[in-house]
Amino acid sequence: NAGVTQTPKFQVLKTGQSMTLQCAQDMNHEYMSWYRQDPGMGLRLIHYSVGAGITDQGEVPNGYNVSRSTTEDFPLRLLSAAPSQTSVYFCASSPRGAGNIQYFGAGTRLSVL
Amino acid sequence: GIQVEQSPPDLILQEGANSTLRCNFSDSVNNLQWFHQNPWGQLINLFYIPSGTKQNGRLSATTVATERYSLLYISSSQTTDSGVYFCAAANYGQNFVFGPGTRLSVLP
């Protein structure tokens, strides 16, 4: 059972480039979410999804897009990367909603130069 | 939304010592979890504990939901316990919010 899988583990971008961070879960969870963690801080919610076809904004959504075409996948898109988006990104999933236990991926470390 | 505070922000222990980490939250919760982030950045789920007490080896946690706090106990600490401990909580129908963390250093 792989759980929550994030790819890539590391990425370096130049300012203005675009990229997609991948997140996949094999637990048939309805709820998926993306967080960013900046140095010395806790995690902050970017976007979340309560099921296929449904997404919503979290605390820090600007500069990011998401879509949820399948239950398993929840990609995070950076449309035009900025140095302020240098961070570690975590994807999480849970059976239903934020009130259920959250399972986290290993993270993607992103640097924007 | 819910606010989550943790104390202390930093803690330095000698190997073998015991410690208590505290998490306060501003509203009623239907989810509370404790995580350990190891020096490699990986988030390890320690406890899912919206109420009551749980134990797992040298670690235990208690959440008193009516008083809006949770405690994480680490007994006989080891150097491998070092890292950052996060508490995170969700209020009914709202999103999962992380506290700022407690950085623990266990010295040999």
Cα–Cα distance between B24 and B95 in angstroms, integer? Answer: 17
Tokens 């790819």 correspond to what residue? A7
Q: Do A43 and B33 touch (CB under 8 A)?
A: no
B chain contacts of residue A109, beta-carbon cutoff 8 Å: 41
- Chain A to chain B, count of Cβ pairs less than 8 Å apart? 56
The mean predicted confidence, pLDDT, of chain B is 94
Q: Which residue, B31, B28, B32, is CA-closest to B6?
A: B32
Residue A41 has pLDDT above 80, yes or no: yes
pLDDT in tens, B65-98: 999 999 999 999 999 999 999 999 998 877 889 9
pLDDT in tens, B52-62: 999 999 999 99
Identify whether the C-beta of residue B69 lies closer than 8 Å to the C-beta of residue B22: yes
pLDDT of amino acid A1 = 61
User: Which of B43, B86, B87, B92 should be substituted to probe chain A, the one whose Cβ sees the most A Cβ atoms within 10 Å?
Assistant: B43
Cα–Cα distance between B9 and A104 in angstroms, integer? Answer: 23
Residues contacting B47, CB < 8 A, separation 6+: B33, B34, B54, B56, B59, B61, B72
**Chain centroid offset of residue A72 CA:** 13
Residue B107 has pLDDT above 90, yes or no: yes
Cα–Cα distance between A92 and B44 in angstroms, integer? Answer: 12
| C-alpha pair distances (Å), A25 with each of A3, A30, A104 | 6, 10, 10
Residue A97 has pLDDT above 90, yes or no: no
